[in-house]
Amino acid sequence: MNYIDPHIHMISRVTDDYQRMAQCGCVAVSEPAFWAGFDRGSAAAFHDYFRHLTEFEPKRAAQFHIKHYSWLCINAKEAENVKLSREVIALIPEFLNRPNVLGIGEIGLNKNTPNEATVFQEHVDLAVKHDELILIHTPHLEDKAKGTRMIVDMLTHDQRVRPERVLIDHVEEHTVRLALDNGFWCGMTLYPTTKCTPERAVDILERYGTERICVNSAGDWGKSNPLAVPELILEMRRRGHAESVIHKVVYDNPLAFFRQSKRWVDWQ
Ligand SMILES: [Zn+2]
């Protein structure tokens, strides 16, 4: 089955991963800007990173007939440095006309600090002013419920934000309704151990339905599986879900969200 991985950090993966993903049916990926494993020392480092996301990765993916899209921001982990964050945010507009850019992301919170909240709101302001989609990172483990609540509050209090143009990622059992009930899209991240395993993700789909919900591997520097979406496909089949339902989750849904981007060019 053809599928889309809407959240994967290909910068951290080898070229063989693209090949294996293509062999498993991957036709498109989207890569949010994130942490590099260390705090970058200057805005110039982000300028190079944005070039990597908008120039190099689309070419590497194209060798395997995979479409590569990206999202731009300074991630929540580095957003504690407000001065650097503002320098990076000022760089983003020059990249917003690149054809593979879908919007601003993954922005959000990491430790739920006031500085992170300030930088989050400045990114939202940039996105709204440029009519861009927004992709949101929610914190891990014990910070997740509080952080997701803070994010939803900031977004719903900004009258300019249209929830159907925002995807809240890394939802779990205790945060999925907060995203869906407020009209946002949401993403479940399939990790081998933390976040959602494919089995837990299918439990959530069976409980909350398949509207405005996507799944991704978030393949990154940590222990993660770039073939996690095909694993979910197998788990849904094992439980007897119709092919059309599986296809909606792994293909139609991410495509419907991406299509709202003003630069979207259809390729189906
Ligand atoms: Zn990520």
**Digit-coded pLDDT (tens) for 46-100:** 999 999 999 999 999 999 999 999 999 999 999 999 999 999 999 999 999 999 9
CA–centroid distance, residue 55 to ligand 1 (Å): 19
CA–centroid distance, residue 109 to ligand 1 (Å): 12
Q: Check pLDDT > 70 for residue 139.
A: yes
CA–centroid distance, residue 49 to ligand 1 (Å): 15
Instruction: Put residue 113 in one of left, alpha, beta given phi > 0 → left and psi -120 to 50 → alpha.
Output: beta
Quote the pLDDT of residue 31.
Answer: 98
CA–centroid distance, residue 170 to ligand 1 (Å): 9
Q: Which residue has the tokens 């197998």?
A: 234
CATH of domain 3-258: 3.20.20.140
CA–centroid distance, residue 33 to ligand 1 (Å): 7
Quote the pLDDT of residue 140.
Answer: 83
CA–centroid distance, residue 217 to ligand 1 (Å): 9
Q: Over the chain, what is the mean pLDDT?
A: 96
CA–centroid distance, residue 260 to ligand 1 (Å): 21
Burial class (CB in 10 A: 0-12, 13-18, 19+), 140: middle
Residues 5-19 have a mean pLDDT of 97
**Digit-coded pLDDT (tens) for 235-247:** 999 999 999 999 9
CA 19, distance to chain mean position in Å, is 21
Cβ count within 10 A of residue 131 = 13
**Digit-coded pLDDT (tens) for 19-54:** 999 999 999 999 999 999 899 999 999 999 999 999
CA–centroid distance, residue 267 to ligand 1 (Å): 25
Q: Check pLDDT > 80 for residue 167.
A: yes
Cβ count within 10 A of residue 262 = 11
Q: Check pLDDT > 80 for residue 265.
A: yes
Quote the pLDDT of residue 195.
Answer: 67
**Digit-coded pLDDT (tens) for 143-165:** 889 999 999 999 999 999 999 99
CA–centroid distance, residue 240 to ligand 1 (Å): 30
Six-digit token string for 120: 């989050």
> Which helix (H) or strand (E) segment is 245 a member of?
helix 243-247
Q: Check pLDDT > 70 for residue 248.
A: yes
